[in-house]
Amino acid sequence: MQNPEMVFDALALNEGDTILDMGCGPGDYAIRASEIVGDSGVVYALDRWQDVIEELAEKARSRGLKNIRAIVSDITERLPVDDESVDICFISTVLHSLNLTDIERALFGEVRRVLKRGGRLAIIECKKEEQPFGPPIAMRLSPEQLESSIVRYGFEMMDLVDLGCNYMIIFSKILSENDAIPGLETEDKTPLEMTLLPVGIIKNRVDEPFLVAGGAGLEMRGELDATMKHVRQVREAISEIVIDETLAGVLDGIEEYSHLVVLYWAHKVPEEGRSLTRVHPMGRADIPEVGIFSTCSPARPNPVLTTVVRLSRRRENVLEVAGLDAVDGSPVIDIKPYVKDSYPQEGVGVPDWMERLQEEVRGRGRMDG
Ligand SMILES: C[S@@+](CC[C@H](N)C(=O)[O-])C[C@H]1O[C@@H](n2cnc3c(N)ncnc32)[C@H](O)[C@@H]1O
Q: Which residue is closest in CA terms to ligand 1's atom 1?
A: 93
User: Helix (H, G, I), strand (E, B), or coil: what is residue 9?
Assistant: helix
Helix axes 50-62, 28-37, angle to 10 degrees: 40
The mean-pLDDT minimum among 56-70, 153-167, 234-248, 254-268 falls in: 234-248
Residues of the chain with CATH 2.40.30.70: 200-361
Using pLDDT thresholds of 50, 70 and 90, give the confidence band for residue 216.
confident
Ligand 1 geometric centre to CA of 69 (Å) = 16
Among protein residues, the one with the nearest Cα to ligand 1's atom 10 is 94
Q: What is the pLDDT of residue 194?
A: 75
Where in the chain is CATH 3.40.50.150? 4-180
Q: Which residues line ligand 1 (CB under 6 A)?
A: 23-25, 28-29, 46-49, 52, 74-76, 92-94, 97-98
Residue 16 Cα to ligand 1 middle (Å): 25
Indicate the pLDDT class of residue 364, thresholds 50, 70 and 90: very low
Note the pLDDT of residue 236: 76
User: How far is 179 from 185, CA to CA, in rounded Å?
Assistant: 8
Ligand 1: which of 51, 71, 74, 94 to mutate, most ligand atoms within 8 Å of CB? 94
pLDDT-derived band at 249, boundaries 50, 70, 90: very high
Helix axes 143-150, 100-114, angle to 10 degrees: 60
Whether 241 shows a pLDDT value over 60: the answer reads yes
Q: How confident is the model at residue 360 (pLDDT cuts 50, 70, 90)?
A: confident
Stretch 328-349: mean pLDDT: 94
Contact 35/27 with Cβ under 8 angstroms?
A: no
Helix H or strand E segment including 18: strand 18-22
Alpha-helix runs per DSSP H in 1-135: 4-11, 28-37, 50-62, 100-114
pLDDT of residue 248: 82
Which ligand 1 atom is the nearest neighbour of the CA of 25? 27
Ligand 1 probe mutation, 21, 31, 47, most atoms within 8 A of CB: 47
Read off the pLDDT of residues 44-65 as tens digits, 9 standing for 90 and up: 999 999 999 999 999 999 999 9
| Residues 126-130, mean pLDDT to the nearest whole number | 93
Centre of ligand 1 from the C-alpha of residue 141, in Å: 15
Cβ 250 vs Cβ 309: under 8 Å: no
Say yes or no to pLDDT of 158 above 90.
Answer: yes
CA of 54 to the centre of ligand 1 (A): 14
Residue 168 has pLDDT above 90, yes or no: yes
Q: Which residue has the higher pLDDT, 150 or 226?
A: 150
Check: CB of residue 369 under 8 Å from CB of residue 231: no
Model confidence band, residue 214 (pLDDT cutoffs 50, 70, 90): confident
Query: Is residue 223's pLDDT more than 80?
Result: no
Q: Report how far ligand 1's centroid is from the alpha carbon of 186 (Å).
A: 35
Q: In ligand 1, which atom is closest to the CA atom of 98?
A: 16
Pairing of strands 290-291, 278-279: antiparallel
Would you tell me which CATH number, out of the four given (1.10.3720.10, 1.10.10.60, 2.40.50.700, 2.40.30.70), belongs to the domain 200-361?
Answer: 2.40.30.70
Q: For all residues of the chain together, what is the average pLDDT?
A: 89
For the ranges 94-103, 116-125, 232-241, 299-308, the lowest mean pLDDT is seen at 232-241
Pocket test of ligand 1: the residue of 2, 48, 51, 108 to mutate, having most ligand atoms within 8 Å of its CB, is 48
Ligand 1: centre distance to CA 106 (Å)? 17
Asked if residues 150 and 125 have their Cβ atoms less than 8 Å apart, the reply is no
Distance 81 CA to ligand 1 centre (A): 18
* Ligand 1 atom at minimum distance from 74 CA: 20
pLDDT per residue as tens digits for the range 250-262: 999 999 999 999 9
Taking each helix axis as running N to C, give the angle between helix 28-37 and helix 4-11, from 0 to 180 degrees, rounded to the nearest 10.
50
- Residue 362 pLDDT: 62
Ligand 1 atom nearest 91 alpha carbon: 6
Residue 53: its pLDDT value, please?
A: 97
What pLDDT score does 181 carry?
Answer: 46
Backbone angles phi, psi at 148, to 5 degrees: -65, -30
pLDDT at 159: 96
Which one-letter DSSP state was computed for residue 327? P
Residue 37, Cβ density class (10 Å: 0-12 exposed, 13-18 middle, ≥19 buried): buried
Does the pLDDT of residue 177 top 70, yes or no? Answer: no
User: Ligand 1 centre and the CA of 86: distance in Å?
Assistant: 19
Ligand 1 atom closest to Cα of 90?
Answer: 6
CATH architecture of the region 4-180: 3-Layer(aba) Sandwich (3.40)
- Stretch 301-309: mean pLDDT, rounded? 94
| pLDDT at residue number 271 | 83
In this prediction, residue 305 has a pLDDT band, given cuts at 50, 70 and 90, of very high
- Res 366 pLDDT > 50: no
What's the rounded mean pLDDT across residues 73-90? Answer: 96
CA of 73 to the centre of ligand 1 (A): 10
Residue 323 CA to ligand 1 center (angstroms) comes to: 48
- Percent over 70 (pLDDT), the chain: 91
Rg, the chain, Cα only = 25
Give start and end residues of each alpha helix (H) in 46-187: 50-62, 100-114, 143-150
